[in-house]
A and B are shown apart, each in its own frame.
Chain A
Amino acid sequence: DGGITQSPKYLFRKEGQNVTLSCEQNLNHDAMYWYRQDPGQGLRLIYYSQIVNDFQKGDIAEGYSVSREKKESFPLTVTSAQKNPTAFYLCASSTQALVNTEAFFGQGTRLTVV
């Protein structure tokens, strides 16, 4: 069963802690993306990666870090430098770098700072 898997579904973080959100895909997609969703603001791009061992900052990369050591995996770390991390995080992938193909999304991770 192909798709994108994000884990965990819910995550709680204490202030000052780093947390890592997992994103795995078995669609053989080259490109992967992380978006942040806040109420009333749509989706904003955090980071994206077109190939293994390469990634680019999106519009709101500050306070986040990523790695792309394997084609299937694109984990996102929310660092203590991110001042307002409470949000819904969505991972996506596509066959090319979104040239004319749709992106496929995971089910999301809801991160809450406690």
Chain B
Amino acid sequence: AQSVAQPEDQVNVAEGNPLTVKCTYSVSGNPYLFWYVQYPNRGLQFLLKYITGDNLVKGSYGFEAEFNKSQTSFHLKKPSALVSDSALYFCAVRDNAGANNLFFGTGTRLTVIP
């Protein structure tokens, strides 16, 4: 069965420092991996995805994520955090075995401290 784990409920980082939001997954086939961001009382905005190819994926707003098959991880990163990056981040996974669903993690709240 597919599942996603975001081990940290909260991540705090100082403005200008690099940030990492962790995600590990479990799927029965090859994974399709996604990161979304949610601002208060808003819907989810797509950041980036990994389908195949290069393990380092670049997305919106300077975010990137690294796919690591051996560790079944897809951590979200940014070299220099901005206060405006403060939000709730969701990792999601779908395998290619046929299930038409996107499984979400429980979310990680990122706070960037000025």
Cβ distance B9 to chain A, nearest Cβ, rounded Å: 7
B90, A42: Cβ atoms closer than 8 Å: yes
Q: Which residues of A contact B (CB under 8 A)?
A: 4, 6, 9, 31, 33, 35, 40-45, 48, 50, 56, 58-59, 88, 90, 92, 97-100, 102-108, 110
Smallest CB separation, B29 vs chain A (Å) = 12
Determine whether the beta carbon of A58 is less than 8 Å from that of B101: yes
CA distance A35 to B92 in the complex (A): 13
**Interface hits, B81-106 → A, CB 8 Å:** 90, 94, 96, 100-102, 104-106
B106 adjacent to A41 (CB under 8 Å): yes
Judge whether A98 and B105 touch: CB under 8 Å.
no
Q: Beyond A50-B100, A56-B100, A105-B44, list 10 extra A-B contacts (CB 8 Å).
A: A33-B102, A40-B9, A42-B105, A43-B104, A45-B101, A59-B101, A88-B41, A98-B102, A103-B44, A107-B41
Q: A62 CB to closest chain B CB, in angstroms?
A: 17
Residues of chain B within 8 A (CB-CB) of A92 are: 44
User: Which residues of B are at the interface with A, using a C-beta cutoff of 8 A?
Assistant: 4, 9, 32, 34, 36, 41-46, 49, 51, 90, 94, 96, 100-102, 104-107
**Is A104's CB under 8 angstroms from B106's CB?**
no
Choose among B42, B45, B107 the residue that contacts A42 (Cβ–Cβ < 8 A): B107
